[in-house]
Amino acid sequence: MNTEVEPVFFDNRDNLRLYGILHRSQDARKDVGIIILSPGIKSRVAPHRLYVKMANRFYEMGFCVLRFDPHGIGDSEGEIEARTTADFYGSVQVGRFVNDTIDAMDWMENAHGISRFILAGLCGGAITGLLTGAIDQRVHSLLGLGIPVILDSAKADQTKYMTRGQLEDLRGSYLKKLLDLKSWTRFLSLKSDYRLIYRSILTAIKGETVQLNTPHPSPPVENEGVRVESNELGNNFNPYFPMALHNMLSSRRVLLIFSEADRLFWEFEEKYMSSYKNEFEKYKNNAEIYITKGANHIFSFKVWQAEMLKASCEWLDKNYKR
């Protein structure tokens, strides 16, 4: 296949220039294209050059693939005003980069005649793709890696909302430190997080999942005009997530790939599936979930990347065979 990889740029609606890389071939398909979205504070390359590897595999399948930096990230113009990383991620989780994604689709449609899109991305890129699909019908499907279902905020006490999986993982690490002198010194010098130790042990004794409907409301996320009030459950679950996911699944396809050792997988299971399993089942024909065994959030090892890419390409081949 005669392939081209070229740097590109386009302006978003705020007249900020966004830069990216376009992977395409002369005979690339015109019926659907793929846009890989920023995972958060990382650029269009992603950890371990994951997005480069994804783009290469996808255009080998005949897709035109764009990966770009949204405003304030990487090479693109703009500023990030959030004071903390948690607040920045909170703003991404409610749609900070949705408009940039729509502008990228506009550019792809005007420049290359592609009017249907598969949005893909890790973490922040996955939730951006989902929220974009909820308001733009040009999004034909979503390939989401490690999608978050919570709202981050620097003001939130995240220990209140830890899942059973997280607490079990912490308990395991505490048990390994029982014979470690430095750990005991830290414990006796009042430097340990006694709340987490207590909750992890209590969860094991009672065999109960951490309660979601605590009386402690999440603080609102507010960044550059983006604001979300506390949700009805009084926890850190993102109220936009089920609405956007069910909107997508009602008429379009979604593949969610999680890493087995990722807290975001545990949060998805305990904070979304536990409450919405019956509703999710209504859309099972359009939804697939794949678990990458043993992998961490960013697919650090090549064997994890290979498994994720294999699952992604098989899903694309099944649903978009030429």
- We report the CATH number of the domain holding residue 122 as 3.40.50.1820
In this structure, of 40-44, 125-129, 272-276, the range with the lowest mean pLDDT score is: 40-44
Determine, yes or no, domain membership for 304.
yes
Task: Tell me which residue of 149, 140, 162 sits closest to 208, measured CA to CA.
Answer: 162
pTM: 0.79
Q: Are residues 282 and 305 in the same domain?
A: yes
Determine, yes or no, domain membership for 222.
no
d(CA 42, CA 277): 32
In this structure, of 38-47, 102-111, 125-134, the range with the lowest mean pLDDT score is: 38-47
d(CA 69, CA 74): 6
Q: How many domains does the chain have?
A: 2
Q: Are residues 115 and 200 in the same domain?
A: no
Q: Are residues 266 and 125 in the same domain?
A: yes
User: How far is the CA of 270 from the CAs of 4, 164, 189, in angstroms?
Assistant: 43, 8, 34
Full DSSP string of 52-112? HHHHHHHHHTT--EEEE--TTSTTSS-----SSHHHHHHHHTTTTTHHHHHHHHHHHHHHH
Sign of the alpha-carbon torsion through 63, 32, 30, 19? negative
Say what the pLDDT of residue 57 is.
96
Q: Are residues 110 and 173 in the same domain?
A: no
Give the whole-number percent of the chain exceeding pLDDT 70: 74
Q: Are residues 88 and 185 in the same domain?
A: no
Q: Are residues 185 and 47 in the same domain?
A: no
Q: Are residues 149 and 168 in the same domain?
A: no
Q: Give the confidence band of 217 by pLDDT, cuts at 50, 70, 90.
A: very low
Model confidence over 265-280: pLDDT tens digits?
A: 999 999 999 999 999 9
Q: Is pLDDT at 92 greater than 60 in this prediction? A: yes
Q: Give the confidence band of 170 by pLDDT, cuts at 50, 70, 90.
A: low
- Mean pLDDT for 100-107 is 98
Give the whole-number percent of the chain exceeding pLDDT 90: 66
In this structure, of 61-75, 123-137, 141-155, 205-219, the range with the lowest mean pLDDT score is: 205-219
The distance from CA 212 to its chain's CA centroid, rounded to whole angstroms, is: 21
The distance from CA 178 to its chain's CA centroid, rounded to whole angstroms, is: 35
Say what the pLDDT of residue 4 is.
86
Task: Tell me which residue of 131, 125, 136, 151 sits closest to 66, measured CA to CA.
Answer: 125
Q: Is pLDDT at 109 greater than 70 in this prediction? A: yes
Q: Are residues 42 and 168 in the same domain?
A: no
Q: Are residues 125 and 56 in the same domain?
A: yes
Helix axes 164-176, 194-206, angle to 10 degrees: 110
Residue 65 domain boundaries: 3-154+235-319
Model confidence over 69-89: pLDDT tens digits?
A: 999 999 999 999 888 999 999
Q: Give the confidence band of 201 by pLDDT, cuts at 50, 70, 90.
A: low
d(CA 71, CA 91): 13
Burial of 97 (0-12, 13-18, 19+ CB in 10 A): buried
Please, which residues bridge with residue 11 across strands? 17
Q: Is pLDDT at 262 greater than 70 in this prediction? A: yes
Task: Tell me which residue of 28, 81, 88, 31 sits closest to 58, measured CA to CA.
Answer: 28
Say what the pLDDT of residue 210 is.
37
Q: Are residues 104 and 194 in the same domain?
A: no
Q: Are residues 120 and 44 in the same domain?
A: yes
Say what the pLDDT of residue 157 is.
52
Determine, yes or no, domain membership for 211.
no
Type of residue at 150: I
